[in-house]
Structure 1
């Protein structure tokens, strides 16, 4: 008997006026390869578009990317928009979130105060974000994945 685990859906996009596409392309490929259903909203995505997609696809995670250094402004009120749409998902943000970004711990605190569950810098390996999401969604590896991991 083969047990199929329910596929987990993540919504991914670049927020605000940011037009950097390479990062989300890499993330889409990595999360898809890790077994997630990825809804890639692309670049220059509004807060409302993230919320609408999360509702439409019953997403368990909303992953926000920003590379142009103005994420704090773009994310003001983001979690209120998600709450109003009754989105119940973990939220991650990553990239070059702050112009200059000299103290990432300060940047992390800023985005945690804005409501994000996890905050990643631009040097984060996609595998680290995938591992964090598996932990946050309490996804345990299947037998075949465990065999792959341990070999």
Structure 2
């Protein structure tokens, strides 16, 4: 099997929980679309179960969760478990934004989100190009592992 093309990959994007900060998520969604990915954009104020429901309905390959209001760690607890319960065990999970309150070591924050089951965590103001580059690498690695 060859590496998947971007056009064959569907990603669900949205802003989790009570967060209304949509601009960064919209910029990322537009960049993903321009790069060739199929994007299902849920917008702001999205409960975790709505991400999962959208991923099932669209046969998504990945879910990209944004949070900018500092409560991402609380909102994302149990997210991977929701995916597993819904039969999405292997779905790629990314999270990014201003994920916690206060100044904290990014390495600690990143590790906490990986412990929550996210494959990647990105700090606020990460360039869309860097996220896309990582997506390409992660989907290529998954395709290679299936060989």
Give me the TM-score of the superposition, normalised by structure 2. Answer: 0.88
Q: C-alpha displacement at 1:6, in angstroms?
A: 4.9
Give the count of matched residue pairs. 136
Gaps of 5+ in 2: 142-147
What RMSD, in angstroms, separates the aligned Cα atoms of the two structures? 1.4
Gaps of 5+ in 1: 140-151
Q: Which has the higher contact order (CA 8 A, sep 6+)?
A: 2
Mapping of 1:75-94 within 5 angstroms? 75-87=76-88, 88-94=90-96
Alpha carbons 1:101, 1:107 under 8 Å: kept: no
Q: C-alpha displacement at 1:101, in angstroms?
A: 3.2
Structure whose CA Rg is larger: 1
Alpha carbons 1:72, 1:111 under 8 Å: kept: yes
Alpha carbons 1:69, 1:98 under 8 Å: kept: yes
Deviations 1:91-144 (A, max 9, x none): 0000000111331111001100000000000021011110101111118xxxxx
Give me the TM-score of the superposition, normalised by structure 1. Answer: 0.86
